[in-house]
C-alpha cells in the first residue's frame, strides 16, 4: 500500500512540474498580447477623436474578472462641468470600444463609482444625485451594470434618475438632504423626481421607492464593494488644465508617452499580483 502511495505522490509531483510552467507560459503570452495591443493603441491612435474635453488620464480596470484590463479614458473639463470616462477592451486581437446597450460608445460621468462585487462577479456603475437645484452634475443619477455578449463586455442600463425641472419650484428650494437615498425616501418628492427602470429593452417609469428598492437590492447600503477608480492603476497626463491651455481659450492635446504607458502597465501587473486584485476573489 505504501509503495502505491509513493508512486502516486511522485506522479503528482511530476504533473505539477510539467503543468505549472506551461500555465505560466500561457499567462505570460496572454499578458504580452494585450499589453502590446494597448500600447499600440495608446501611442498610435487618435483616441476619442472630436471629444469636447481634453484627455486627463488613463485607467486600467478589470471589469469582467478575466485578468485582462479594460481601458478607461478620463476626459476632464477642469471645472464645475466635471468630466467623463469612455472605455475600451481587448477582444483577443485588437482594442475596441466598450459599447452601451444601444450600441453607442459607453460613457459615464467622472462622478460615477465603479463598484466591484467580487463575490457575485459583477461590476456596477453608480452615479448618485445630491441636489434638487444647482450644478447639473448633482441633479441626476443612474445605475448601470457591466455585462457580456459573446465574450465582449458592454455597459447595460438599469436605472435612471433626474430632477424634473418643470415641477413646482418651491419643492426644489426647501428640500436639502445629505444623500440620494434620502431624496428617494421622501414621498413628497416623488412628483418632482423622474425615476425609470430599463426593462426588456425599454424605459418604464417607476416610483422613487421602487428605484431605491432595486438599487439597494443590487448594491446594499452597507456594501463593501471596492471602487475600481481607487486602485491606483492610472496615469494622469497633467496636474491642472491650466498647464495645457494655449492662451486663446483652447487647450493643447497632450499625448501619452512610451514611458507613461510602461508605467501604467507596471502598475497593472503589480496590482493583479497583489491580494487587492479581483482575480484573488473567485
What is the mean pLDDT of the segment spanning 22-33?
65
Residues 118 and 219 in one domain: yes
Indicate whether 72 belongs to any domain: yes
Residue 171 in domain: yes
Asked if residue 213 and residue 127 are part of one domain, the reply reads: yes
157/217 same-domain check: yes
Per the structure, how many domains does the chain have? 2
Give every CB contact of residue 61 below 8 A, 6+ residues apart in sequence: 69, 70, 72, 114, 123, 228, 231, 233
Segments forming the whole domain that contains residue 37: 30-97+232-276
If asked whether residues 129 and 198 sit together in one domain, one would say yes
Check whether 277 has a pLDDT greater than 90: no
Cβ neighbour number for residue 165 with a 10 Å cutoff: 12
CB contact at 8 A, 58 and 42: yes
On whether the CB atoms of residues 172 and 178 are closer than 8 A, the answer is no
214 and 157 in contact (C-beta within 8 Å)?
A: no
Q: What percent of the chain has pLDDT over 70?
A: 86
Domain-embedded: residue 9: no
For residue range 173-212, what is the model confidence (pLDDT) as tens digits?
577 888 999 999 998 888 889 999 999 999 999 999 999 9
* Segment 54-104, tens digit of pLDDT: 999 999 999 999 999 999 999 998 887 889 999 999 999 999 999 999 999
For position 2, what pLDDT does the model report?
A: 41
Given a contact cutoff of 8 angstroms between Cβ atoms, the answer to whether 128 and 180 are in contact is: yes
In this structure, is residue 25 part of a structural domain? Answer: no
Alpha carbon distance 6, 24 (integer Å): 27
CA 107 – CA 99 distance, rounded (Å): 8
Quick check: 85 and 234 in contact, CB under 8 A?
no
Q: Is residue 12 part of a domain?
A: no
Q: Which residue has the cell 501587473?
A: 269
Amino acid at each position: 500500500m505504501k509503495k502505491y502511495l509513493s508512486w502516486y505522490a511522485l506522479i503528482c509531483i511530476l504533473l505539477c512540474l510539467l503543468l505549472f510552467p506551461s500555465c505560466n507560459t500561457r499567462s505570460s503570452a496572454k499578458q504580452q498580447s494585450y499589453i502590446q495591443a494597448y500600447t499600440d493603441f495608446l501611442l498610435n491612435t487618435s483616441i476619442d477623436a472630436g471629444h469636447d474635453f481634453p484627455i486627463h488620464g488613463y485607467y486600467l480596470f478589470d471589469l469582467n474578472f478575466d485578468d485582462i484590463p479594460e481601458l478607461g479614458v478620463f476626459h476632464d473639463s477642469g471645472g464645475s462641468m466635471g468630466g467623463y470616462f469612455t472605455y475600451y477592451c481587448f477582444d483577443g486581437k485588437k482594442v475596441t470600444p466598450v459599447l452601451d446597450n444601444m450600441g453607442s460608445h459607453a460613457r459615464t460621468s467622472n462622478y460615477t463609482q465603479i463598484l466591484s462585487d467580487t463575490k457575485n462577479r459583477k461590476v456596477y456603475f453608480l452615479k448618485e444625485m445630491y441636489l434638487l437645484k444647482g450644478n447639473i452634475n448633482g441633479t441626476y443619477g443612474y445605475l448601470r451594470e457591466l455585462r457580456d455578449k459573446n465574450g465582449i463586455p458592454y455597459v447595460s442600463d438599469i436605472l435612471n434618475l433626474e430632477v424634473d425641472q418643470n415641477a413646482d419650484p418651491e419643492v426644489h428650494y426647501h428640500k436639502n438632504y445629505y444623500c440620494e437615498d434620502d431624496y428617494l425616501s421622501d414621498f413628497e418628492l416623488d412628483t418632482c423626481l423622474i425615476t425609470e427602470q430599463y426593462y426588456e429593452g425599454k424605459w418604464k417609469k417607476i416610483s422613487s421607492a421602487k428605484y431605491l428598492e432595486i438599487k439597494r437590492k443590487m448594491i446594499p447600503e452597507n456594501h463593501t464593494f471596492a471602487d475600481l477608480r481607487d486602485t491606483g492603476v492610472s496615469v494622469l497626463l497633467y496636474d491642472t488644465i491650466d498647464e495645457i491651455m494655449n492662451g486663446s481659450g483652447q487647450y493643447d492635446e497632450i499625448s501619452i508617452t512610451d514611458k507613461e504607458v510602461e508605467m501604467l502597465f507596471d502598475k497593472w501587473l503589480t496590482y493583479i499580483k497583489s491580494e487587492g486584485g479581483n482575480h484573488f476573489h473567485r
